[in-house]
A and B are shown apart, each in its own frame.
Chain A
Amino acid sequence: MPARDPAVLRLALLALATALVAALALGLGSGGWDWQLIATLRAPRVAAAAGVGSLLALAGLALQVLLRNPLADPYVLGHSTGASVGALAALLLGLQLWIGAASGALVAGLLLLWLARPALAAADDASPKLILLGTMLAAIFGAVSTLMLALVPDQRLRGAIFWMVGDLSGADASLWNLAGAAVFAAWLWARGRSVDRLMLGADAAWLLGEPVRRLRLELLVFASLAVGLAVSTSGSVGFVGLVVAQGWRLAGVLRTRELALLSMLSGAALLMGADLLARIVVAPLELPVGAVMALVGAPCFIWFLARGVK
């Protein structure tokens, strides 16, 4: 890309802003500036926030194309709560947490695609139906995980707040999230033009020679893995995908390639920032980061709706 390309400038500025947020998140908080504290407590948590934010932003981007709905988000449509049920089941059965979570997200995604199939195939605008179906799926999975927590009291399972709204306190230092986000973004970059064509519609993309079935399956699998990784780290944090990917779309970014890079960076910055707020607003008490995200994200959803984004 030539240097005068505004896309490059935008990306560079965003990278700078993300680094700044990371520095603030590392430096601020109760306990002040203490290298020991930063290295052992804050750095793992900031890394977890960055990883989860990137994964959720990319998952939102992928689901928006898969479901042809700019308002799609893994939390709104039940993928995250599905992942919570899967994660809880994995914990109870003694299986790997993230595998359970990813499977839960995949099942939720397949269920939504199946239930919404008539609406997605019809010529009319499927948006309201899709969002309602997803919201109901989220309610069902939320109820199931509440029941699991109520019926099987178990210290290993963590609390309801973690699974319902998401929480980063006590998140492990795992670079898997960041690595997963990088792989996801690289895949979106590689398939950028095909994913762009999918935005024209499944039939239109197929007529242009795109392997639509495989592409949609890959989008669903990548989004489910991302949600699974994110949920097993932080529980179901919502609205990152909606705010980030749709925000860039409204700002006029149209290409999947550029959207993937921007979403990865700004998802990381958004969740690091939200977690910083969660830690310092009522310090020394901490808020669950998911509650902070919902306070930002839900009004955005309403604003997008009012602006006529469907």
Chain B
Amino acid sequence: MTATPLLETCALTVRAAGRVLVDGLAWRVHAGERWCVIGRNGAGKSLVLRALAGLGVPERSGQVLWQGRPQDDWPAGAAASLRALMPQQAQDRFALTVERVLALSEVAAPAVRPTELLAALDIAALGERRVDQLSGGERQRVALAQCAMQGASLMLLDEPVSFQDPAHQQVVGRWLTQAATPESGDRAWIASAHDPSWIARVATHVLALQGDGRWQAGRVDEILSAPVLERTYGCAWRSVEGAWLPA
């Protein structure tokens, strides 16, 4: 692809507590791509997503470019229609309803109609409910809807399916698969996730973080291989009829 990448990192290095987690990340994400970030607990997935979104991380160096422009040069308003971040855990301190939270999240025109979005994520019935009284899985799907309502070209999703039951992992996976496609234009997403079988179904590309600074980025069929998974997670893997199982 020759178009300006939606996101590009130049020598991005992220440290935490004196340890280098990601070293010299040089990475490009184009519209139409669906990236999953894999790595052990504490490998720096969340910190990388925060850094990509422009939020503060303890220690970082290097540059992040959004559509070719350094992220610090973007005014806050324009940045909001370019990238959205779904945090791993929403922090609800006020008794807001789902409807209200979604309305507050609108920035640019979302890619889909709100009613379609809520139906696709199976949260259409929750509109009147208070966000602080939802189950973990429901709150997580509402957070994903908030992120989508922002209408940003690039969605950064920190573990969008960690609280989902198997059926809703499929629901979320189906929605994510059609949320960014090469045919339909200008959107992309990057999500941290753990289950290689789920990733194989929804992602086009994978970034694997080893947690010691080393990383590997590429097409999903290149990265999801027994050697890379073993290096990433520290245990052996085998593929059984398209599903990845830790040995």
Q: How far apart are the CA atoms of A210 and B53 in the complex, in Å?
A: 14
Contact of B104 among A69, A70, A127, A208 (CB under 8 A): A208
A206 interfacial by beta-carbon distance below 8 Å: yes
Interface residues of A (CB under 8 A from B): 68-70, 123, 125, 127, 193, 196-197, 199-201, 203-204, 206-211, 249-250, 254-255, 310
Known: A70-B94, A196-B104, A203-B87. A209 touches B55 (CB 8 A): no
Residues on A with beta carbons closer than 8 Å to the beta carbon of B105 = 200, 208
Q: Enumerate 23 A-B pairs (CB-CB under 8 Å) in ascending A order.
A: A69-B93, A70-B93, A127-B93, A193-B104, A199-B93, A199-B94, A199-B96, A200-B105, A201-B93, A203-B87, A207-B53, A207-B55, A207-B80, A207-B84, A207-B85, A207-B150, A209-B77, A209-B78, A209-B79, A209-B80, A250-B95, A254-B95, A310-B93
B100 interfacial by beta-carbon distance below 8 Å: yes
- CB-nearest residue of chain A to B143: A204
Question: In the complex, how many residues of chain B place their beta carbon closer than 8 angstroms to a beta carbon of chain A?
Answer: 25
Contact B93 A68 (CB under 8 A): yes
Contact B94 A209 (CB under 8 A): no
Q: How far apart are the CA atoms of A127 and B85 in the complex, in Å?
A: 25
Contact A209 B107 (CB under 8 A): yes
- 18 extra interchain contacts, Cβ-Cβ under 8 A, other than A127-B93, A208-B107? A68-B94, A70-B94, A125-B93, A196-B100, A196-B104, A197-B104, A203-B55, A204-B87, A206-B76, A207-B83, A207-B84, A208-B105, A209-B76, A209-B77, A210-B76, A249-B94, A254-B94, A254-B95
With both chains docked as a complex, state the minimum distance between the C-beta of A205 and any C-beta of chain B, in angstroms: 9
- CB-nearest residue of chain B to A206: B76
Interface residues of B (CB under 8 A from A): 53, 55, 76-81, 83-85, 87, 89, 91, 93-97, 100-101, 104-105, 107, 150
With both chains docked as a complex, state the minimum distance between the C-beta of B33 and any C-beta of chain A, in angstroms: 21
With both chains docked as a complex, state the minimum distance between the C-beta of B237 and any C-beta of chain A, in angstroms: 31
Known: A70-B94, A310-B93. A200 touches B76 (CB 8 A): no
With both chains docked as a complex, state the minimum distance between the C-beta of A72 and any C-beta of chain B, in angstroms: 10
Known: A207-B85, A209-B107. A201 touches B91 (CB 8 A): yes
Contact A123 B104 (CB under 8 A): no
Q: How far apart are the CA atoms of A211 and B79 in the complex, in Å?
A: 12
Residues on B with beta carbons closer than 8 Å to the beta carbon of A200 = 96, 101, 104-105
